[in-house]
């Protein structure tokens, strides 16, 4: 059962509802019931107090919704004609987003592609409401998923192709970090996919990571075919099933960059600003920044700003990998180092050259 939050009881399965009612609950006041099929619970709904209860996207038997409303319950119906579950209670899986790619590689028919196409349409009030409700539901599902875990973030370039040495380095980093923490990335291609791949193979020998990278390298990029790129990833998953947990937090704002198939859980948002903030917020064990450009630089200084103003108990390590990249090609390090000087974050910013060094710093 989900924990109480103040006077709120959140119920997102009929099994939990039945357990609470069997335990003697006589009032649903303060309850949030989400995406439940209540068509077989007419008698229960009519015998309990429902004033002040919130029903989000629930399905009722004939007459029950009116009865609930008449007695003070608040009903938010599902938003019609949208491709997403606006009141979903769990994060996505790669299989849910991609559907069946085997044998055809047709990405265009997948849920991910259809939602992206829908998100590109001019937004009316119904679309805006659906997106907001969906992202709120993802927030709730993500909070449940990360409970009890310590997350370490890996940020880096989306454009790194699978046959580039930097991809193999990021995969090794993900494997090393997953030995002690749960890896979280932006959920996309490139270095993000590689880090999630390393976490998927966390319990496998180092040689398995090298073999997996070699298999993926045959389809190095999601261009020109997202379907072929994703299908090869699912083949690798089948080669090494039962992989380790990791998190991806992508966005349909950048829907042209497909989600990778190696994050075991995917918190995909519509609002990129929300996604960026959440991604940095959940990485309580620190963040490793691999060589990147605009997006990675934004993440460095967004995270740096949070650490700049944080007290000592809230500062998490920041590790930039690649001395030459971060001091000469994209000189973010000198500014970050100068900002950290004299602040509580000073001892938590690091510049290293290898995945092993980075993993050692955030591995404690």
3-state secondary structure of 15: helix
| Domain identity same for 117 and 64 | no
| Domain identity same for 145 and 135 | no
d(CA 133, CA 82): 12
Does residue 297 lie in a domain region?
yes
Question: How many other CB atoms sit within 10 Å of the CB of residue 85?
Answer: 17
Does residue 182 lie in a domain region?
yes
Rounded mean pLDDT, 22-51:
95
| Domain identity same for 58 and 153 | no
Tokens 């209860």 -> residue: 53
Q: What local confidence, expressed as pLDDT, does residue 100 receive?
A: 79
| Domain identity same for 161 and 309 | yes
| Domain identity same for 53 and 103 | no
Does residue 210 lie in a domain region?
yes
Tell me the average pLDDT of the chain.
Answer: 94
Q: What sections of 87-204 are H helices per DSSP?
A: 94-98, 111-119, 125-146, 165-177, 191-200
Global pTM reads: 0.91
Q: What local confidence, expressed as pLDDT, does residue 364 receive?
A: 63
Q: pLDDT tens digits for 81-137? A: 999 999 999 999 999 999 977 556 689 999 999 999 999 999 889 999 999 999 999
- Pick the last residue of a domain from 45, 76, 107: 76
Rounded mean pLDDT, 319-328:
98
Give Cα separations from 13 to 10, 77, 89 (angstroms): 10, 17, 9
Q: What are phi and psi of 321, to 5 degrees?
A: -105, 125
Whether residue 5 has pLDDT greater than 70: no
d(CA 329, CA 15): 56
Domain total for the chain?
A: 3
Cα–Cα nearest to 41, from 23, 64, 69, 67:
64
| Domain identity same for 241 and 344 | yes
Does residue 101 lie in a domain region?
yes
| Domain identity same for 132 and 185 | no
- Pick the last residue of a domain from 76, 103, 125: 76
| Domain identity same for 179 and 266 | yes
Q: What local confidence, expressed as pLDDT, does residue 78 receive?
A: 85
Does residue 82 lie in a domain region?
no
| Domain identity same for 126 and 260 | no
Q: What local confidence, expressed as pLDDT, does residue 102 receive?
A: 58
Does residue 251 lie in a domain region?
yes
Do 86 and 133 touch, CB atoms closer than 8 A? yes
Q: What local confidence, expressed as pLDDT, does residue 123 receive?
A: 84
Q: What sections of the chain are H helices per DSSP?
A: 14-22, 42-47, 64-70, 94-98, 111-119, 125-146, 165-177, 191-200, 206-216, 226-239, 272-282, 294-309, 323-324, 332-340, 355-362
- Pick the last residue of a domain from 139, 167, 193: 139
Domain that holds residue 304: 141-362
| Domain identity same for 54 and 126 | no
| Domain identity same for 111 and 49 | no
Question: Within 13 Å of residue 305, how many CA atoms lie on the same side as its CB?
Answer: 8
Q: Identify the CATH number of the domain in which residue 284 sits.
A: 3.40.50.450
| Domain identity same for 133 and 154 | no
Does residue 84 lie in a domain region?
no
Burial class (CB in 10 A: 0-12, 13-18, 19+), 349: buried
Whether residue 160 has pLDDT greater than 50: yes
Q: pLDDT tens digits for 228-262? A: 999 999 999 999 999 999 999 999 999 999 999 99
Does residue 206 lie in a domain region?
yes
């Amino acid at each position: 059962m989900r924990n109480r939050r103040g006077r709120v009881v959140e119920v997102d399965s009929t099994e939990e509802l039945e357990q609470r009612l069997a335990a003697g609950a006589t009032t649903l006041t303060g309850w949030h019931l989400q995406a439940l099929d209540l068509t077989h619970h007419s008698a229960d709904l009519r015998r309990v107090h429902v004033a002040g209860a919130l029903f989000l996207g629930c399905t009722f038997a004939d007459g029950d919704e009116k009865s609930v409303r008449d007695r003070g319950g608040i009903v938010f119906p599902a938003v019609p004609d949208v491709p997403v579950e606006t009141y979903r209670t769990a994060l996505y899986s790669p299989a849910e987003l991609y559907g069946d790619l085997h044998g055809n590689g047709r990405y265009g028919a997948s849920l991910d592609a259809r939602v992206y196409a829908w998100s590109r349409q001019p937004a009316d009030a119904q679309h805006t409401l659906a997106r907001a409700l969906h992202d709120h539901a993802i927030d709730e599902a993500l909070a449940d998923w990360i409970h009890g875990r310590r997350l370490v973030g890996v940020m880096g370039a989306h454009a790194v192709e699978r046959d580039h040495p930097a991809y193999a380095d990021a995969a090794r980093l993900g494997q090393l970090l997953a030995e002690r923490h749960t890896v979280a990335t932006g959920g996309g291609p490139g270095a993000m996919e590689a880090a999630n791949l390393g976490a998927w193979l966390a319990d496998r020998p180092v040689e398995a990571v090298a073999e997996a990278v070699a298999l993926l390298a045959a389809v190095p990029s999601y261009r020109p075919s997202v379907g072929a790129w994703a299908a090869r990833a699912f083949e690798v998953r089948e080669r090494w099933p039962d992989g380790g947990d990791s998190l991806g937090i992508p966005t349909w704002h950048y829907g042209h960059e497909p989600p990778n198939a190696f994050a075991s859980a995917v918190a995909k948002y519509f609002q990129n600003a929300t996604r960026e903030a959440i991604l940095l917020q959940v990485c309580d064990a620190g963040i490793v920044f691999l060589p990147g450009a605009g997006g990675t630089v934004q993440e460095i200084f967004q995270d740096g700003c949070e650490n700049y103003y944080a007290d000592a108990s809230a500062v998490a390590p920041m590790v930039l990998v690649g001395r030459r990249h971060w001091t000469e090609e994209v000189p973010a390090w000198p500014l970050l180092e100068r900002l950290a000087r004299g602040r509580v974050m000073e001892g938590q910013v690091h510049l290293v050259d290898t995945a092993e060094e980075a993993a050692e710093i955030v591995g404690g």
